[in-house]
Amino acid sequence: MDTTPPILTDSFQRKHTYLRISLTEKCNLRCTYCMPAAGIPLTPRAHLMSADEVYKLAKLFVHHGVTKIRLTGGEPLVRKDFETIVKKLATLKVEIAITTNGILLNKHLPLLLELGITNITISIDSLSTEKNQLITRRDYFDAVWNNVKKMQTLVDEVKLNVVLMKGVNDNEICDFIELTRFENLKIRFIEFMPFDGNQWNTEKLVKHAEIINMLHAHFGAKNVLRSTDAPNDTSRNFKIQGFKGNFAIISSVTNPFCDTCNRIRLTADGKLKNCLFSSSESELLNDFRNGLDITPKIKLAMLSKKRTRGGMDTIEKLEDPELHSKNRSMIAIGG
């Protein structure tokens, strides 16, 4: 009997079954919290994974126990060969999910539905056109909102990601939740996280506890119901009594969920990140191109995974720009 530990298990016995693949560093938006105003230097195309390399690397991870793959970026749908990639990935025995800003969703929905890919999360941070323009530095609110509406006619539950920033969109928390009164929407409020160049500070953070206090004041504490979380859920789930939809809070800053983490990331340039917050990366693509066995490198990367937030285990460490600026911008990691 083979007693070798699986290569995707880390030294804290966390099994990593969820791979997030960034398909591109490019995006048709310029969200303030995700990328610096001046943009990021783009990796030359030759150093990015081709469609075939995405497929072959994904296949290797699936072979080693990955059961779910989320395609992200940058904006995954801006990649010209996006449809080739999903078609190839759909041949693997794996659940496929996508996180998108939603702008181009209508173009790809027929194929996604044909392939049975309905786990699609759309990011939208404000219900106001003007504020969206301010946050994304682009004017695409109507396109995104139309695609949210379209998705609602096609799937049972539509998930919306909302990154909360104090003084920017925290006054819309109750408006977002109001949307769930009659509609089967899931609103996922995400605490603003620090990455290189996104001007993060704790003052801009809307904490999990603040969100709950606001909701207690608005809807009444007894009406804010805590729901059960799925194993490995990064979000804490809630709903308002009597509402059709529900909401969740992803509190990676004030209340991290590292103990049950099952996630790893592959960047568009083929590097493995064992944690979203970790600045260390393992180069896989070059070795793969050179025909080397990359499993020892993957194993090593997993064994070096820190227990909490890439070693930034206290909020003080996370606040330190010396530490969090060593990491890439979110757009180049793949959120």
Q: What is the CA radius of gyration of the chain?
A: 19
* Antiparallel, parallel or unpaired: β 95-100 and 119-123: parallel
Beta bridge partners of 205: 165
272 is a contact residue toward ligand SF4 (CB under 6 A): no
217: buried, middle or exposed (CB in 10 Å: 19+, 13-18, 0-12)? exposed
Indicate which of ligand SF4, ligand SAM, none lies near residue 190 (CB less than 5 to 8 Å, by partner kind): ligand SAM
31 is a contact residue toward ligand SF4 (CB under 6 A): yes
245 is a contact residue toward ligand SF4 (CB under 6 A): no
Strand order in the sheet with 224-226: 224-226, 236-240, 246-250, 185-191, 158-164, 119-123, 95-100, 68-72, 18-22, 263-266, 271-273, 282-283
> Binders of ligand SAM: how many residues, by CB under 6 A?
20
* Antiparallel, parallel or unpaired: β 263-266 and 18-22: parallel
Q: Between 101 and 169, whose beta carbon lies closer to ligand SAM?
A: 101
Binding mask 231-260 for ligand SAM (x = CB under 6 A): ------------------------------
29 is a contact residue toward ligand SF4 (CB under 6 A): yes
Residue number closest to ligand SAM, CB atom: 335
CB of 102 to ligand SF4, least distance (A): 9
Please give the Cα distance from 164 to 168 (Å, whole number): 8
Q: Which two tokens mark 304? A: 């070096």
Phi, psi of 311, rounded to the nearest 5 degrees? 100, -15
Indicate which of ligand SF4, ligand SAM, none lies near residue 192 (CB less than 5 to 8 Å, by partner kind): ligand SAM
Please give the Cα distance from 274 to 276 (Å, whole number): 7
CB of 238 to ligand SAM, least distance (A): 19
Contact 21, 48 (CB under 8 A): no
Torsion of CA 141, 235, 267, 136, to 10 degrees: 20
Query: Interaction with ligand SF4 in 81-140: which residues (CB under 6 A)?
Result: 101, 123
Binding mask 313-332 for ligand SF4 (x = CB under 6 A): ------------------x-
Long-range Cβ pairs for the range 282-285 (8 Å, 24+): 284/57, 285/47, 285/49, 285/53, 285/57
CB of 3 to ligand SAM, least distance (A): 38
Q: Which stretch binds ligand SF4 (CB under 6 A): 71-79, 168-176, 179-187, 314-322?
A: 71-79
Sole binder of ligand SF4 in the list 73, 194, 197, 245 (CB under 6 A): 73
Sole binder of ligand SAM in the list 190, 205, 261, 312 (CB under 6 A): 190
Q: Between 193 and 261, whose beta carbon lies closer to ligand SAM?
A: 193
Positions touching ligand SAM (CB under 6 A) are 27, 33-34, 72-73, 75, 99-101, 123, 161, 163, 190, 192-193, 195, 198, 330-331, 335
